[in-house]
Amino acid sequence: MIEEEVLKLIKPNEEDKKRLEEIAQQVLDRLKGLDAEVEGSYRKGTWLKGDTDLDIFVFYPKEVGKEYLKEKALNELLTRVRDLNYTIAYAEHPYIIVKIEGVEVDIVPALRLNSGEEAITAADRTPFHTRFITSKLDERGKDEVRLLKRFLKGIGVYGAEIKVKGFSGYVSELLIVYYGSFINVLKEASKWKHPVRVEIVKQKKEFSEPLQIPDPVDPKRNASSAVSLKSLVTFILASRYYLRKPSLDFFFPKDKKYDKIKGDVLILKLKFKNTVVEDILWGQVWRNVEKLRNVITNAGFRLIDINAWGNESEVYIGIQVESKNIGKYYLNIGPMYYQIEHVDKFIQFNENVWVGEDGRLYSIKERKESELEEIARKNLNFKHPFTLEVNWLTNVGDDPWINKFLLKTPPWLK
Amino acid sequence: MIEEEVLKLIKPNEEDKKRLEEIAQQVLDRLKGLDAEVEGSYRKGTWLKGDTDLDIFVFYPKEVGKEYLKEKALNELLTRVRDLNYTIAYAEHPYIIVKIEGVEVDIVPALRLNSGEEAITAADRTPFHTRFITSKLDERGKDEVRLLKRFLKGIGVYGAEIKVKGFSGYVSELLIVYYGSFINVLKEASKWKHPVRVEIVKQKKEFSEPLQIPDPVDPKRNASSAVSLKSLVTFILASRYYLRKPSLDFFFPKDKKYDKIKGDVLILKLKFKNTVVEDILWGQVWRNVEKLRNVITNAGFRLIDINAWGNESEVYIGIQVESKNIGKYYLNIGPMYYQIEHVDKFIQFNENVWVGEDGRLYSIKERKESELEEIARKNLNFKHPFTLEVNWLTNVGDDPWINKFLLKTPPWLK
């Protein structure tokens, strides 16, 4: 059976577990005297083999407030790990990352509350998530979560970060809690039509997102608000086709070579001078992609597809159009003959005006811009400095992202 | 005043009149013993200087029937003119054309009826038109008709033939009868919005055409049924702009030189092996133009304009597109993910399938045909044999029709 086969590959063994346990203990020792706890998928027992991060939260009384965490608490925590290889990362508020023997340990200051509903930042909610999930999942349940996570990874929709707009680990866990098993989640998901509501608890607010899972520890919050329609639909279709014909391809897709360039493909390569926080950069990337989608279409190009890939310092935007040669002129549709004022203005401000068979006036207009490269250059807008290379794709080569952009069809779909 | 100036140029003098009178008499002498009458604009006194045709009708009793006219009557008439330079022409039924001293005389057999409403063919109605118009127009009225006809000619909408789809002489006369003068016709027309009804008599049927003038001698017939919306609107706009700023350009437009090729222009040159009756040929020409308009647009080209010009043996079709390079592939929009059967088929029959941001499936398809020349070649369809030349316009030259096709704006519009 496919699922058992997959589980063998993704379930950590005792050795894996012991390694993380020891590293966690090292850090906890350094945090002695503080209210520190291991959280995250390691704590919940739902992490995948090879995943090497640990989340250690340090709690402060509610009364100290949010600002205290950002400065005083952070500095206090820093004194404990200053001799290690550390960096400061920025989410809703800053936290510390230390690397120990290849394991990334996040040390996150948070407020100790009585209920998830009092949460001020996402971090404050985390211990309640940990408690809820561990109370609901037995050993088999944890494995079912692992299968679901690997499935979501394989089809490219795992992760709530802005770059992916997919399913978080917590959402994967909630789905298993509600539907009981990996296969049951897929059976239900294969029938979904958005907006989808999964009410483990009654929602305490109206949500607008395509997938709506009220957070059991704070039901006025949608735990799956990050999931885009595209990610949701990808999961629905993958569920449907997996149930019809299970295959390892869903969990471990292989890159396919594909070098046929259909239409004209422009590749923008953006190199950012400094590394930018991923969510901040990718928020801007997707806004730029949407902006380009609009201006390219409005300029008269027939856009086949536009997409982006890359990391925190290098971003590629692929733009595929039916033809780059749209001509310098376009048909301009004017008013009906009886709209007298509009007709007067149309004649005054246009060249090559004529009366169409439909009684409407028409003219020929010159495009403001007919070069796609120029349109792309002029409309990119980022808050961080970058250099730009713009190239028409001629030789595809081995870049797996470019191959994927050209092929489009995910390996599990066909 | 512009109108008086025009009238000096278009009103026939005594000499012009005498010349036609003598030729008419020559033909009437040959038709002695038959019920022959002069009809048409010469008889009505509304013809323009330089117009050199005469209509002579020969009437037979109603009882002989339509078939008699086509054979027996035609043969009888032929015996009277066989020694002249004659041809047989075909309208609703055949008639004879003889050329005498540069004047074209149409000899038309028709039935003698008691009322226009009994008419079997258009020819039977003619004497009633003649009587109606002559009874309504005085000398000034005839000049007003002449102005209106010249105006309609100048703006390119004079003539009820299929090639023009414009205003017949009779419709011009009816408009003057109803509105009294050239300027009053323009004043009314400048305010028209289609469908336009000009009810000299109450209509006896519902009409569907953009201009509706029930024929006073047969009110169940629309005398202006030939007028297309484009011709009507051209007249409305020309009226509006003439009233604002009268000019000789409306009556006698000068060809303008214009050699700027905007977009890509394909010229089809069709040469017909034999001369074809004009209305029959041009009915086919416009049907072909409409067909091409559709197939070109459906093939993915952005059509700026398509038009035709020529005569009874040579026809040109001009096709102007924004760009001839539309690419070999196009974006194919598929079903929403929840239309399961459609989704299955879409995946089965398409390549490069992906999920869009909107939850819809998309694919890339190859065009059946991406060469405009091929599309034009494959879709032309005439009942008469012809040879075809297809060329992309590169050097414009002096051809006034090509200059007009490129400029589009009539000289009186700007």
Give the Cα separation of B206 and B221 in Å (integer): 9
Q: Write out chain A residues lying below 8 Å of B358, CB-based.
A: 229
Residue in B264, B353, B355 nearest the CB of A414:
B353
Give me the pLDDT at residue A93, please.
85
Give me the pLDDT at residue B361, please.
98
Beta carbons of A354 and B305 less than 8 Å apart: yes
B261 near A CB under 8 A: no
DSSP helix/strand/coil, A371? coil
A240 near B CB under 8 A: yes
**Residues in chain B with pLDDT < 70?**
none
Write the ipTM.
0.94
Give me the pLDDT at residue B275, please.
84
Give the Cα separation of A351 and A367 in Å (integer): 13
- Strands (DSSP E) contained in A79-215 are 86-90, 94-100, 103-112, 196-197, 211-212, 214-215
A263 near B CB under 8 A: yes
Give me the pLDDT at residue B414, please.
78
Residue in B234, B262, B303 nearest the CB of A355:
B234
B355 near A CB under 8 A: yes
CB within 8 Å of chain B, chain A residues 363-392: 363-364
B209 near A CB under 8 A: no
> Residue B351 burial (CB < 10 Å; 0-12/13-18/19+)?
middle
Beta carbons of A362 and B305 less than 8 Å apart: yes
Residue in A210, A302, A340 nearest the CB of B331:
A302
A298 near B CB under 8 A: no
Give the Cα separation of B370 and B354 in Å (integer): 24
Give me the pLDDT at residue A91, please.
80
Q: Write out chain B residues lying below 8 Å of A331, CB-based.
A: 302-305, 322
Give me the pLDDT at residue A92, please.
82
Give me the pLDDT at residue A369, please.
96
**Residues in chain A with pLDDT < 70?**
none
Please report, for residues A169, B53, B153, B271, B403, the alpha-carbon distance to residue A151 in angstroms, rounded to integers and kept in the order given.
Answer: 12, 87, 75, 67, 65
- Between CA B115 and CA B124, with CA B121 as vertex, the angle to 5 degrees is 40
CB within 8 Å of chain B, chain A residues 306-345: 321-323, 325-331, 337-338, 340, 343
Q: Write out chain A residues lying below 8 Å of B338, CB-based.
A: 193, 236
Beta carbons of B263 and A327 less than 8 Å apart: yes
- Which residues neighbour B15 within 8 Å (Cβ) at sequence distance 6 or greater? none
Residue in B236, B264, B414 nearest the CB of A347:
B414
Q: pTM for the full model?
A: 0.90
- How much is the mean pLDDT over chain B? 96
CB within 8 Å of chain A, chain B residues 7-66: none
